[in-house]
Amino acid sequence: MSFSSSKRRQEVVEGAGRPKEVVGKRGGFVDEYEKQRQLTKLLMNVNIEKSLGPVKVVISPENTVGDLIKAAIEIYGKEKRRPLLDDTDPRCFELHYSQFSLQSLKPYEKLMNLGSRNFFLCLKSAVTASSSDKAKAADN
């Protein structure tokens, strides 16, 4: 066997398991493997207060908590779940990690940064709702 053929065989074997590099949208090189690993959709489970089971929402990881709240309310209404919601305005709801969590998530937070796919949706407390109504009236 000649030196050049063994060298060529070594290059083929070393390159076989390595992913190809492709040019990304912004001009940088991205491994094909990394490109395939990027999440395109997330399956979120949202338990709505007083409801029997979670609402399953398929949503992009680039969306925000506010988008998830809106989507969960829409799906809940389309599926005609019980009990019916008195108010379907997404601004009247808060999203929490669980029903035992007191701190609500910020509506502008990205879903990919949350670290969970299970959430609890409930109506804002009367104090929070009335203060937001006062803020709306002040804006008008």
Residue 4 domain-assigned? Answer: no
Is residue 40 a contact partner of residue 60, using CB atoms and an 8 Å limit? yes
Would residue 30 count as lying in a domain? no
Range from 34-43, 62-71, 75-84, 124-133 carrying the lowest mean pLDDT: 124-133
> For the segment 79-101, what is each residue's pLDDT rounded down to a tens digit?
999 998 888 899 999 999 999 99
Counted domains in the chain: 1
> Does residue 109 form part of some domain?
yes
Q: Model confidence over 18-41: pLDDT tens digits?
A: 455 544 555 555 666 666 667 689
H helices of the chain, where?
3-16, 32-37, 65-78, 126-139
CATH number at residue 86: 3.10.20.90
Q: What is the dihedral of CA 49, 44, 99, 132, to 10 degrees?
A: -70
* Residue ranges making up the domain that contains 68: 42-126
Query: Which strand (E) or helix (H) includes residue 21?
Result: strand 21-23
